[in-house]
Structure formats: structure tokens, C-alpha cells
Amino acid sequence: MNSPGGTPLKSTVDPRIERSRQVILRAALDELGEVGYGAFTIESVAARAGVGKSTIYRHWSDKLSLIANAFQTLHEEQVPDIVTGSPRERLERIVRHVADVVAGSIFSACIPALIDGAERDLGLRDFHHRFQAHARQPLIDVIAEGVATGDFPHYVDAELAALGLLGAIFFRRLMTSVPFEADQASRLIDTVLSPP
């Protein structure tokens, strides 16, 4: 952003406020993963973050806006490089990333809480569906590009293929005792996208 004279303006965000926001967002995810959506409170997050609850309410109006911001921030910080490489290389990078995140990250601990809470709270369900659709779109786009360039078979439906790839990873996380391993990404892609 520039001043009227064209010189760059300094950021007006106080670094202490930004650090505090990051601590609160992390505490929110830790709290959600540990106690679930129903038991999640602004007070408990404030205690975990070591701040007053008024500090949280200064930035977020309620627990849903706090959780939504925490998920969006985490997602933006962890997005893999999907600009360079062939469609196949980028697809494998995305699948490996998702497998790593789902197997063992703060997000992994929050998945059951988010699913459970979304079944009971319409606002959380709406956020969850929008968040997942947004997060899934780059995967769909890379597959569609690969179909267009001939890297993947012409008959592949990009959205269904994306659901197949993600479904395998999330199924293993939620329905079995063994998470999907990132080093199996290439085999999974071959299984879902290779011609018969």
C-alpha cells in the first residue's frame, strides 16, 4: 500500500498484537482437538493462550469465528508449492501434503471434533463445507489440467478423482488404526488415475 505521494506505507499492525493473535489461534486449535466443539469455550482458549477473554473478543465475535480463522490461517501457512512441475508432480505433492497433515498435525487432532460439531451446529457445518470445498479446489484444478494436457486419461472426472484421492486418506484416518502414509501417494494416484 502506498501513500498519496507514492511512497510505501509501513505496516500498521503491531508485531505484539500479531504474535498474540498467533498464540490465540494455536490455542484454539489445541483446545478444539483436545475437548471437542461442544466443550470449546472462549474462556478455555483464553486460559490456554494466557490472555484475557476480552483480548479474544476484540478480534473474534464468537467461538465459530475464532475456529474458522484458526483453520484458514493454518491452511494458508501450510499450502504446498503447486505452481512448479508437471500436473503429476504437483498432484503427488498435494496428496503427500494432505497425507502428512491428516496423519499427524494439529489439524489431524481437530478432524473428529470438526465433523462431530458440524453434525450438531448449522453454522459450523456451513463453515466446514465451505472450508473443505475451498481447500479441495486446487486438487481438482491440477487433475483437470492433467486431463487437458494428456497427463491423465481423458475420461477422468477431476472432481470425482479428487474425492477418491482424499477419501482414501480421510477414511484411513477416521475409520482405521493406521493412517495413510505419504510415501504411498504415488501408488494411490496410479490406482485412481491410471488407465485400465
Rounded to a whole number of angstroms, the distance between the first and last alpha carbons of the chain is 53
Cα dist from 82 to 1, 93, 135, whole Å: 27, 8, 13
Q: Residue 196 and residue 194: Cα distance in Å, rounded?
A: 6
pLDDT-derived band at 6, boundaries 50, 70, 90: low
For residue 177, what is the DSSP state?
S
Q: Is 80 exceeded by the pLDDT of residue 8?
A: no
Reported as a single tens digit per residue, the pLDDT across 30-70 is 999 999 999 999 999 999 999 999 999 999 999 999 999 99
Cβ proximity of 66 and 60 under 8 Å: yes
Among 138, 134, 158, 160, CA closest to 148: 158
Q: Is 80 exceeded by the pLDDT of residue 4?
A: no
Q: Is 90 exceeded by the pLDDT of residue 194?
A: no
Among 146, 154, 55, 40, CA closest to 95: 146
Q: Whole-prediction pTM value?
A: 0.85
Cβ proximity of 97 and 78 under 8 Å: yes
Cβ proximity of 87 and 181 under 8 Å: no
- In the chain, the domains with their CATH numbers are 15-69 (1.10.10.60), 79-193 (1.10.357.10)
